[in-house]
Structure 1
Amino acid sequence: MCLGIPVEVLDCGEHFARCRGRDGEVSIDIRLVGAQPPGTWLLCFLDAAREVIPAERAAAVNAALSALSAVNAGETDLSAFFADLEREPQLPEFLRTSRP
């Protein structure tokens, strides 16, 4: 399995960008997304950018990756990592209808 890691562009060249991610600065292959201005967020797989993403999505992906690290460390309360899910789960509409 390959996980997407969000990184923020610091400097950009023709084929590679210097970016900052969860593990510090990295060189990212940008040939699939093209040159991007500093401050742009990229979703990367194996040090290659696959998608330009908004900062909000980068934050959500980073929170999920932090939750994964917490689970690996033995933590069981993951509510702090998924603030956007602070609601009761809802059944899809087709499951809400009662059957005879």
Structure 2
Amino acid sequence: MSGLDRMEGVIREALCGLRESPSANSSAAFDRIQRLLSSSGAETHSVDAVYDGVLRQSTELLADDFEALGCCVDLLKRALLRHLPSFAQLGRIDAWCEVTVRE
């Protein structure tokens, strides 16, 4: 299993936890994503890959669950305070939030 596959699995597990019980699993999901971001080090492309995975999978897994999506947005805000992505990634996160809020 490649590093990317492991990362995607951790993200999927964290987001599935949000879907099952958003408020109860919010901290656990954040901790999992936080560990991925921390292990990315200072490499911007690695940090961006984690954020891209969160956006992609949250769209797939949480699109019809507003409470879980709200927890995911909160997770992203907390993660952004500690792990800065590239400017391009910030734009993708902003666009995802705009589309998600509109739908």
Q: Report the structure number with the largest CA radius of gyration.
A: 1
Per the TM superposition, whether the score is higher than 0.5 is no
Structure number with the higher helix fraction is: 2
What is the TM-score with the length of structure 1 in the denominator?
0.28
What is the TM-score with the length of structure 2 in the denominator?
0.28
